[in-house]
Structure 1
Amino acid sequence: MEYTRITSVADPLFRQVHHLLSEVFPPEEVLEFSLWKEPLEDPGIRVFAAVHDGAVVGTTEYRYYTDWNVAMTDFTIIGREGLGIGRFLAQSRLKDLKKLAAGNGKELFGMFAEIYDPYRVEYAFGGIKPMDPFVRREVLSHLGYKRMDFPYVHPSWQGDGEAVSGLDLCFMPGNEDLGQVKASLVADFLTRYYAVLADKPEAWTSMVEGLKSRDTLSLLPL
């Protein structure tokens, strides 16, 4: 299996990646095909495909922020059972991020991820069993992700200003004994991460302002 970076919408592999996105996630979570041109060309956004026998069988997108020494996992998709794709993507991504952090003279502090909570909201998506929201949540818990102690919403990626709920913002600390993170880091991260979306819902703006008034956020079991 090959871990192949995609940097252009013209790459034939990207159409397969976008197809996987559309199969797995609800519409409000998926950026329209043509709007991927700039993100893919952005050197700070890393989109990789797991390629098996010439076909995309999995994909992940993430980014590393040198000033905070943290990463964000945008998505991880498994497209076929029985190939060990999830572990392959997770390990390949972590090796890449550790290399980026080392180039920054540091050890990776941790990684953010938005994780669906199917215990609160019923989801009718996933495509194949490994992508079922219950399975995904448990796997991410096993990887070391912890839930941040605040009610979370995010702006819809359809750009319509709607608030999307039913997820937790989680963090996988480099040091598994870490029990809390600075709330200011989370507020600053979310502000930069969603700067690309001009239309923000009031619920999101209020949430970020609330974070700015707090000192720390506890990391809870997922």
Structure 2
Amino acid sequence: MEFIRIQSIDNPLFRSMHDLMKEVFPPEEVLEYSLWKEPLEDPGIRVFVAVHEGKVVGTTEYRYYDDFQVAMTDFTIIGQAGLGIGRFLARKRWDDLQALAAASGKPMLGMFAEIYDPYRIEGHAFGGVKPMDPFVRREVLSHLGYKRLGFSYVHPSWENDGEAVAELDLCFLPTDEDQTELQAKLVVNFLKRYYAVLANKPKSWHEMIEALEQKNNLSLLPL
């Protein structure tokens, strides 16, 4: 299996990747095809596909903020069971992030991810791919060490229509697995940076940020 970076919408592998995203994710979680041009060309956004026998069978997007010393996993898609795609992507991503952190001269504190709450997203089949089932994914990510941040989370729809998406939890994978809290200021700064690209944010998102700004630390809870 190959781990190949995509840096242009003209790369034929990108069409396959985008089709896989539309097959697996709800519409509000998928950025429109042409709007990918700038993100793919951004050196800070790392988009990779897993290619098996010439076919895109998985993909992941992530980024590293060296000033915050944290990473963010935007998404991971496993397109087929029985190939070890999830482990392959997780290992390759972690190796790449460790190299980016080393190059920055500062250690990585951990990695954020938005993780579906299976009890709030029951109506979506995720393309019928069983490894993408929210119950399965949540348990796998718990095994990897992700923890849920202790607050009610919403995020702006990637359709940039001002709607709130509330079926996910914001989670964090600390490099120190005994860590039980995370600075609220770090979470606020990260979310403001991450969603700066979306102009139309719902009122509930702004209210969430304002509430977080009043806190010192946030609990890291079991998934």
| TM bracket (short chain) | over 0.9
CA distance in 1, matches of 2:156, 2:7: 25
What secondary structure is seen at the aligned counterpart in 1 of 2:51? strand
Deviation at 1:120, TM superposition (A): 3.5
Deviation at 1:121, TM superposition (A): 3.8
Find the counterpart in structure 1 of residue 85 from structure 2: 85
CA distance in 2, matches of 1:215, 1:31: 33
Find the counterpart in structure 2 of residue 23 from structure 1: 23
What secondary structure is seen at the aligned counterpart in 1 of 2:22? helix
TM-score by length of 2: 0.98
CA distance in 2, matches of 1:94, 1:25: 23
Structure 1 range deviating more: 67-76 or 112-121: 112-121
| Residue 145, structure 1, aligned to residue 149, structure 2 | no
Q: 1:62·1:74 contact (CA, 8 Å) conserved in 2?
A: yes
| Residue 74, structure 1, aligned to residue 70, structure 2 | no
What secondary structure is seen at the aligned counterpart in 2 of 1:208? helix
Find the counterpart in structure 1 of residue 190 from structure 2: 189
Find the counterpart in structure 1 of residue 62 from structure 2: 62
CA distance in 2, matches of 1:83, 1:124: 23
For the aligned residue pairs, the C-alpha RMSD in angstroms reads: 0.7
Q: 1:123·1:133 contact (CA, 8 Å) conserved in 2?
A: no
What secondary structure is seen at the aligned counterpart in 2 of 1:103? helix
Q: 1:26·1:125 contact (CA, 8 Å) conserved in 2?
A: no
- Percent identity, aligned pairs only? 69
| Residue 11, structure 1, aligned to residue 6, structure 2 | no
Deviation at 1:131, TM superposition (A): 0.5
Deviation at 1:6, TM superposition (A): 0.3
CA distance in 2, matches of 1:141, 1:23: 25
Kindly tell me the number of residue pairs found equivalent between the two proteins: 222
CA distance in 2, matches of 1:137, 1:146: 10
Find the counterpart in structure 2 of residue 220 from structure 1: 221
Moved over 4 A (4+): none
Unaligned runs of 5+ in 2: none
Find the counterpart in structure 2 of residue 118 from structure 1: 118
What secondary structure is seen at the aligned counterpart in 1 of 2:37? helix
CA distance in 1, matches of 2:145, 2:183: 18
Spell out, residue by residue over 1:2-41, the C-alpha distance to the aligned partner (whole angstroms, 9 max, x if none). 1100000000000011011001100000000000000000
* Amino acid paired to 1:210: A
CA distance in 2, matches of 1:166, 1:132: 14
Find the counterpart in structure 2 of residue 135 from structure 1: 136
Deviation at 1:166, TM superposition (A): 1.4
Spell out, residue by residue over 1:18-74, the C-alpha distance to the aligned partner (whole angstroms, 9 max, x if none). 011001100000000000000000000000000111111100000000101100000
Find the counterpart in structure 1 of residue 199 from structure 2: 198
What secondary structure is seen at the aligned counterpart in 2 of 1:168? strand
Find the counterpart in structure 1 of residue 49 from structure 2: 49
Deviation at 1:119, TM superposition (A): 2.1
TM-score by length of 1: 0.99
CA distance in 2, matches of 1:125, 1:15: 22
CA distance in 1, matches of 2:121, 2:32: 25
Unaligned runs of 5+ in 1: none
